[in-house]
Amino acid sequence: MSGGVDSSVAALLLKQQGYEVQGFTLRMWTDEGRCCSKEDIQVAIQIAGKIGIPHTIIDIRKEFEAEVVSCFLEGYRQGRTPNPCAICNQRIRFGSFWKQVDSFGAKYLATGHYARIKPVSFSGGDPETPQEELLLARAKDRLKSQEYFLSLISKEYLGRILFPLGDLTKPQVREIARDNDLPVIDRESQDICFIPGGDTARFICNHLGDTPGDIVDAEGKVLGRHRGIWCHTIGQRKGLGIAAKEPLFVVKLDMQNNRVVVGPRSALAGDHFRLLNINKFTDRNLTDLPLTCKIRYATPEVGCRIEGDEVILKHPVDAITPGQLGVTYWEDKVVMAGIIDI
């Protein structure tokens, strides 16, 4: 329970459905960021009291800094653009915290994420004895669905996870909160929760320091200077501080020579990538399924096929970025995910 409308309504719905519910708030970061502030925690406590459930605060700041923030900074140091929300879900919410859930004797772990878990039958090795497996799937509200950020959690947990908001839309969730007079924090933000003001470049440079280098074109011509290679990402156009006759985008981060390579939009296109740290939700043969893939949360899906650890796209897309998630779908269900590598 973060004090926000989603987790608060999720707890309320479970209580109304007859579950024995206990609320937990994870204190993951200090007050300088956007999460885990004193206000958030106080609101979560207030809501738990109103719903009529016990509430516990768990201080998990050391684990969060080691598993999420340090991983985030190291990714940028290596010229990648990591997704800290996905790492947090994998290592903290459904990682370190999961162990504590067991210690409380809980049967299920529920969150306010917009996602669903669907049972799917398949023949397996014997068509006469179909098997059933659980797959992570999109929520009803396609605009809010968060299965992309959940795609690194282990499939072995799916039978013990509840997503009470999976069949609801955001407006419906807000209406439930109003009807039940829940004093929730209702805010929408795409910022990284532990970065003050959403200024990612400043946060990174403050921690990794300035290591100036050249901004060059594909032929090596120097067009400008950068503060540090980790302040840039594939596909970036703004904030380069260079003038050119046509729009230029970051197309490569040359870590060996400390150079940011820029080029026209056409140079961003790619039609394949490798996946690292692959997480599969099914044992079935993926070559038999019509698949699609997302390389970022907000980008459209594109048809694809899987060859080992490589994803082959049916048509080129822009800005395939090392460190981001590559999530593969069968219809509305996630079948495989991993970290993009080129």
Helices 170-179 + 5-16 axis angle, to 10: 70
Catalytic entry in 193, 231, 293, 304: 193
Tell me what pLDDT residue 261 has: 94
Please report, for the chain, the start and end positions of each structural domain, with discontinuous segments joined by +: 5-112+164-196, 210-263, 268-341
Tell me what pLDDT residue 188 has: 64
Q: Are 185 and 4 in contact (CB under 8 A)?
A: yes
The model's pLDDT over 179-227, given as tens digits with 9 standing for 90+, comes to 998 877 666 655 677 777 777 878 888 888 888 999 999 898 999 999 8
Distance CA 284, CA 125 (A): 10
Q: Which residues of the chain have pLDDT under 50?
A: none
Q: Provide CB contacts within 8 A for 17, sequence distance 6+.
A: none
Superfamily designation of domain 5-112+164-196: HUPs (3.40.50.620)
Class of the domain covering 268-341:
mainly beta
State yes or no: is 193 an active-site residue: yes
Q: Are 97 and 161 in contact (CB under 8 A)?
A: no
Distance of CA 308 to the CA centre of its chain: 23
pTM: 0.88
Tell me what pLDDT residue 176 has: 94
Tell me what pLDDT residue 275 has: 95
Q: Are 115 and 10 in contact (CB under 8 A)?
A: no
Q: For the residues of 2-26, what is the DSSP string, one character each?
A: -SBHHHHHHHHHHHHTT----EEEE
Tell me what pLDDT residue 190 has: 58
Tell me what pLDDT residue 321 has: 92
Tell me what pLDDT residue 280 has: 93
Distance of CA 192 to the CA centre of its chain: 10
Catalytic entry in 35, 36, 85, 88: 88
The CATH fold assigned to 210-263 is: SH3 type barrels. (2.30.30)
Helices 5-16 + 38-51 axis angle, to 10: 20
Alpha-helical segments (H) within the chain: 5-16, 38-51, 61-64, 70-77, 84-88, 97-103, 170-179, 200-208
